[in-house]
Amino acid sequence: MKYLTEYRDPELVQEYLQEVHRITTRPWTLMEICGGQTHSLVKNGLLDMLPPQITMVHGPGCPVCVTSISVIDEAVWLAQQPNVILASFGDMLRVPGSKKSLLEAKAEGADVRILYSPIEALQLAKENPGKEVVFFAVGFETTAPANALSVVQAAKLGLPNYSILASHVLVPPAMEAILGDRENRIDGFLAAGHVCAIMGTEEYDPIALKYQTPIVVTGFEPVDLLQGILMVVQQLEKGEYKVENQYARSVLREGNRLAQDTIREVFITSDRTWRGIGPIPQSGYEVNERYRSYNARIKFHIDIEAAEENGQCISGDIMKGLKKPVQCPNFGKACRPEQPLGAPMVSSEGACAAYYHYASAPAEINTPVCN
């Protein structure tokens, strides 16, 4: 496949690996932000190929994992309302809420549809004028422009039966929350390539400077990841801390201005609670006043008691890079993909699911490692 095989080239992989091995002199802990990167690292068996001094920890960049339990409850509640079609990306369906998942609500008769794009949800609203269509607008900055665009379009088309349940989260505030944590042990970041394709790289400059931590915007294929790791380690070994762009084939410094304008048209930044991590100020998007009639929370007067998360799940520690999935006593035992205690075991981008499905050392799966 053109534009993919080049980045999976075994010889290039070896070259980058050798270079990483050659220049690494000290232990370094690197965090890849995005769940897609985590999966690529694990799925391709890269973690075992890195020098032993390099520890990769897996960041919070899995939208499914960080969506708070209360928001899942809101989605389930909406899906259960008469006359409502709740449209969602497939990934969200299995995530457990405080009582049930959307998949369970669907099995009980709620009208939950799996869609691939919010624009399809608009189509659904057009086709079902007698029903209310709510799109579960989840994701990082990457999915925000398309979700915003669906609202702009709905307004243009005068579709009164469309709204979104926004649960957008933003990467830079989460990075600051991790770096500001007293227990933080991250030396360098691989920033999420797709998020930066939208937002650009400028907003990371102050973070690299303030926390003296190198940040390399990185892609998702094996060669991308190894080059990104090499660039971070090069900086660390030299004592530098700047923002670099490994994923230049997709990411411009200024990002995608048009997409950013669309986000600004519909959303305002707001406080957001991250599952497992807790509230982070100004770390999400909510529908702004101008488009309030498309905000499902206002439209349906959602008023749900905030639910407690399952105390047995250590997803917060995992997403902050403090623990690895296999260090959770419940991993592969009480918590499995078919019966998850927390979201990282469910999502196709979740770190626990990555380890469960692809862990290189088969024994790891059943070996409890307790701290």
Using CB under 8 A as the criterion, which residues of the chain lie in contact with other proteins when the complex forms? 1, 4, 8-10, 13-14, 36, 42-46, 48-49, 63-64, 89-94, 114-117, 120, 138-140, 142-143, 194, 222, 336-338, 348-349, 356-360, 362, 365
Smallest distance, other proteins to C-beta of residue 242, A: 27
Per 3-state DSSP, what percentage of the chain is helix, strand, and coil (rounded to 5)? 45, 20, 35
How far apart are the C-alpha atoms of 238 and 233, rounded to whole Å? 8
Smallest distance, other proteins to C-beta of residue 13, A: 4
Smallest distance, other proteins to C-beta of residue 314, A: 20
Which of 327, 360 has the CB closer to other proteins? 360
3-state class (DSSP) for residue 189: strand
Which of 44, 270 has the CB closer to other proteins? 44
Which of 4, 370 has the CB closer to other proteins? 4
Query: Contact at 8 Å (CB) between 89 and 62?
Result: no
Which of 141, 187 has the CB closer to other proteins? 141
Indicate the Cα dihedral angle 24, 196, 32, 186, nearest 10°: 70
Which of 296, 354 has the CB closer to other proteins? 354
Which of 218, 235 has the CB closer to other proteins? 218
Indicate the Cα dihedral angle 315, 317, 322, 327, nearest 10°: -50
Which of 29, 360 has the CB closer to other proteins? 360
Smallest distance, other proteins to C-beta of residue 301, A: 27
* Angle at 348 (CA atoms; ends 346, 354), nearest 5 degrees: 85
Smallest distance, other proteins to C-beta of residue 112, A: 12
Nearest Cα residue to 277 out of 181, 190, 204, 359: 181
Q: How do beta strands 243-245 and 162-169 pair?
A: unpaired
How far apart are the C-alpha atoms of 265 and 260, rounded to whole Å? 9
Smallest distance, other proteins to C-beta of residue 294, A: 20
Smallest distance, other proteins to C-beta of residue 142, A: 5
Q: What is the phi/psi pair of residue 344, to 5°?
A: -60, -15
Beta carbons within 8 Å of 300's beta carbon, 6+ residues apart: 78, 81, 84, 132, 134, 163
Smallest distance, other proteins to C-beta of residue 195, A: 9
State both tokens at 157: 């088309």
Which of 214, 228 has the CB closer to other proteins? 228
